[in-house]
Amino acid sequence: MARVLAFDVGKKRVGIAATDPLQIIANGITTLQVHDVLPFLKEYLLKEEVELFVVGYARQANGEDSESMNYIRPFVNSLKNKFPQIPVKWVDERYTSQLALKAMIDGGMKKMARRDKAMVDKISATIILQSYLDGGR
């Protein structure tokens, strides 16, 4: 089977997570600057088969689109244009950053390490992907 990749898209950075080949477990891969993601994916796809991209859909607590969608949508359009053979699926990403911070605390991560925004983004992408695997398919 091919992997599924997930993205937690921010204004400056994108957290990236991937499944194992059997699509059972989500693992954080990296966090990159937005402009570095497409070149990274080009290289990644030379080594790994990917059948789906999952992107966090930013909503407010009331369900309306978050302002973050103003830079998430262009990112998704770039994904679709650069890799048209790989479909994109949206997954609600409400509260993933808070869940990522909670996971870091529960995992015993020290306060200074929890300030690493790149780590939060990578964990958020992992939570988005695991959410997809657990029932969002």
Angle, CA 88 vertex, CA 87 and CA 89 arms, to 5°: 125
Number of domains making up the chain: 1
Can you give the pLDDT at residue 5? 98
- pLDDT band with cut points at 50, 70 and 90 for residue 112: low
d(C-alpha 49, C-alpha 106), whole Å: 33
Q: What are the helix (H) ranges across 1-137?
A: 37-47, 69-82, 96-106, 111-114, 117-131
Q: What is the CATH number of the domain that holds 55?
A: 3.30.420.140
End-to-end alpha carbon distance in the chain: 15
- pLDDT band with cut points at 50, 70 and 90 for residue 98: low
pTM of the model: 0.85
For residue 25, give its domain range: 3-136
pLDDT tops 80 at residue 104? no
Can you give the pLDDT at residue 37? 97
Percentage of the residues of the chain whose pLDDT score is greater than 90: 57
Per-residue pLDDT tens digits for 27-44:
999 999 999 999 999 999
